[in-house]
Structure 1
């Protein structure tokens, strides 16, 4: 509008001045309301959200809704009622339905397209197992139609889904490996965890040592405890006890020699 007024009326025209003031006011209001406008923009289009899980879930939810809109697909919208079909869960060990998939999408449980696709295909697998092949069962034929639509929409959104999946899992699409920054962060977290566990262990050992110092143990109890320790099993304790015995024997011999010398002196 301002550009058109400049072009038609000139820069110094009254109408152009009014257009300038309107432009300046609008720019000021946009700056003031920028955060609110960004929130509204993300609410309208979740693909703009900073959290890639939100955008990923938005695309998957569109696929689920399209599958639920298939005519006569209602039997696959919710779990099979065990009361109405009592033997169903005896034969089907991994039940799946569009309602469960939709709940998983909203809870952001899917972090790869493959996980989502596997659950969609599980609906068809279960129908084939319980109702028979698509040629003989209208239920399986409808499940096959659901799978076909889901696969088609996944293919149509493959570029977007691949990018979002890579961002969620920290993969580089060019080499298919975890990005170095994310890998380093994961390694640092593991190292910090090890350090924390080691610190706790050192503290526990220190506390244990203080408690042992405070306790008064007689010689027989101390010996009994060591005999049951790993030192005894490795032979180290035997060596220590052997050295201890030899020291005692030397002391006894010294005392005996001292007594003998005293007796000789007394005899003089």
Structure 2
């Protein structure tokens, strides 16, 4: 079975790896988990570690020459590898540890294929870098973003590197936001897959350059391939020097959010 991974294309590898990690996360759910302190209030669990080991096993079997940057294991593989995979084996560890199922497994090839798996719905959202689809119960469907839900996920987890000029929490009380949208806070990049799938209108988070983050790379790739509008909180293309993330189902929604963000920033300067 493991040898069959080598015959997969990059999207197939991303799907297989994310699916394997999701199987671990789902199987270990509900067990008493030991928290492994990582400092600054962050921690991992045995499920994070085991899921990452399983994901790396798939990638190594399929692409032994590639490097991997894992949330838990750090950089692995040859330093001069041409290709690198970014792995977040359990996004939403705090949710998971307290018995909340809002979590995701993220696997992305830098500037290439990516997959985001929901361990509990069984959905795997994926892209080959060109198109975006979801696989559920053996069937694939194209992802179609839409702002119809008017739900916007806002990540309120620290740190807040762009404060006081930008505070995500301020969006929730802004009249322009309240008039058009309704907030949701899940604190996991599963929300990015939901924007691509039309389950959310947008997603907003603070931060620095998130384009090569193990947490966000897969979700960003998915949203771009689905046709979402993806920028930083300043409206610029994300990348080196970028700040935070605003992902919207369409240009109108993105424009409305940027207007609110710009208004809040002007009021704080």
Provide TM-score, normalisation by structure 2: 0.20
Which one has the largest radius of gyration? 1
Higher share of residues assigned helix: 1
Higher share of residues assigned strand: 2
Provide TM-score, normalisation by structure 1: 0.20
